[in-house]
Amino acid sequence: MRAVIQRVSEARVSVGDELVGEIRAGVLVYLGVEKTDDASDLRYVMDKLIALRIWEDSQRKMNLSLRDVSGAVLLVSQFTLCGDTRSGRRPSFASAMAPTEARAMYERAIEILKSEGLEVATGRFGATMAVYAVNDGPVTLLVDSKRLF
């Protein structure tokens, strides 16, 4: 499972003319689910997301987590994070989990975040979306449950 985590001052996602998710300060998270992912991969990424210390404290050190700053999460499913670009010019998405199973993992991620008391907004699974974000910092991190990076 892979996640791109961006610290934002605001973010929103639309499908066509419909606004489907919006947050103020927090993180925009793109989540890619691979065929080999299971509940432990999901838990690893969610725990990492919740606990990452990516906001500055009074000493200007990155010591504060999402929970510490009462930040929100905008979670967007993005199978292209599973793309393999090592060969040729067209990415292979062979490692991406099938949509039905990936949707279940995405919905479980939402449940986990909400159960932790976080404000959660979402994109729409499987839709073509327009994502708008004001990056704060910018701070952008990559998380991989297989710890490949």
**30-53 tens-digit pLDDT:** 999 999 999 999 999 999 999 999
Q: What is the pLDDT of residue 148?
A: 83
d(CA 124, CA 41): 22
Q: What is the pLDDT of residue 27?
A: 98
Mean pLDDT of the chain: 97
Q: Which helix (H) or strand (E) holds 134?
A: strand 130-144
What DSSP letter does each residue of 69-126 carry, written as one string?
TT-EEEEEE-GGGG-B-SSSSS-B-TTBPPHHHHHHHHHHHHHHHHHTT-EEEE--TT
Among the listed residues 80, 85, 100, 140, the single catalytic one is 80
- The model carries a pTM of 0.96
pLDDT at 146 over 90: yes
Question: Is 80 a catalytic site residue?
Answer: yes
With the C-alpha atoms ordered 84, 86, 88, 89, is the resulting torsion angle positive or negative? positive
Contacts of 100 (CB under 8 A, 6+ apart): none
pLDDT at 119 over 90: yes
Q: What is the pLDDT of residue 82?
A: 96
d(CA 51, CA 65): 5
What DSSP letter does each residue of 38-61 carry, written as one string?
-HHHHHHHHHHHHH---EE-TTS-
Domains of the chain (ranges plus CATH)?
Answer: 2-142 (3.50.80.10)
What band does 149 get if pLDDT is binned at 50, 70 and 90? confident
Summarised one tens digit per residue, pLDDT across range 61-102 is 999 999 999 999 999 999 999 999 999 999 999 999 999 999
Half-sphere exposure at residue 117, Cβ-oriented, CA atoms within 13 angstroms: 5
